[in-house]
Amino acid sequence: NAGVMQNPRHLVRRRGQEARLRCSPMKGHSHVYWYRQLPEEGLKFMVYLQKENIIDESGMPKERFSAEFPKEGPSILRIQQVVRGDSAAYFCASSPVYRGFEQYFGPGTRLTVT
């Protein structure tokens, strides 16, 4: 059973470009979470999704950021018009149900904005 998969592992974008981060949850997991780890800061929750539903996006910046988890395919975190402050490690986690079970994390995508 493969773990949570994220790609790309490293992504370099110039200011103003779009960044697309992908996350495939573990087999049998229908709940996906995105977290961001800024340099010298802890991991912060961004968004929680189930298939075709955004359950909680309270941690998402109001502009430029969006997330989806379609019926088929991976979850996507999209950042439009990236700025240097978006440089961070973005982690995806999945769990089989929304509460009470461990969240399993992917290896992360390290985004660098030049």
Please, what is the minimum distance in Å from the beta carbon of residue 3 to other proteins?
9
Decide if 6 contacts 22 (C-beta within 8 A).
yes
- 3-state SS string for the chain: CCCCEEECCEEEECCCCCEEEEEECCCCCCEEEEEEECCCCCEEEEEEEECCEEEECCCCCCCCEEEECCCCCCEEEEECCCCHHHCEEEEEEEECCCCCCCCEECCCEEEEEC
- Sole binder of other proteins in the list 15, 44, 51, 78 (CB under 8 A): 44
If binding is defined by CB under 8 A, does position 33 make contact with other proteins? Answer: yes
Residue nearer to other proteins on the CB measure, 9 or 15: 9
If binding is defined by CB under 8 A, does position 64 make contact with other proteins? Answer: no
If binding is defined by CB under 8 A, does position 53 make contact with other proteins? Answer: no
Residue nearer to other proteins on the CB measure, 17 or 37: 37
76 CB neighbour count, 10 Å cutoff: 16
If binding is defined by CB under 8 A, does position 42 make contact with other proteins? Answer: yes
Residue nearer to other proteins on the CB measure, 17 or 30: 30
Q: Which residues here bind other proteins, judged by CB under 8 A?
A: 31, 33, 35, 41-45, 48, 55-56, 58-59, 91, 93, 95, 98-100, 102-108, 110
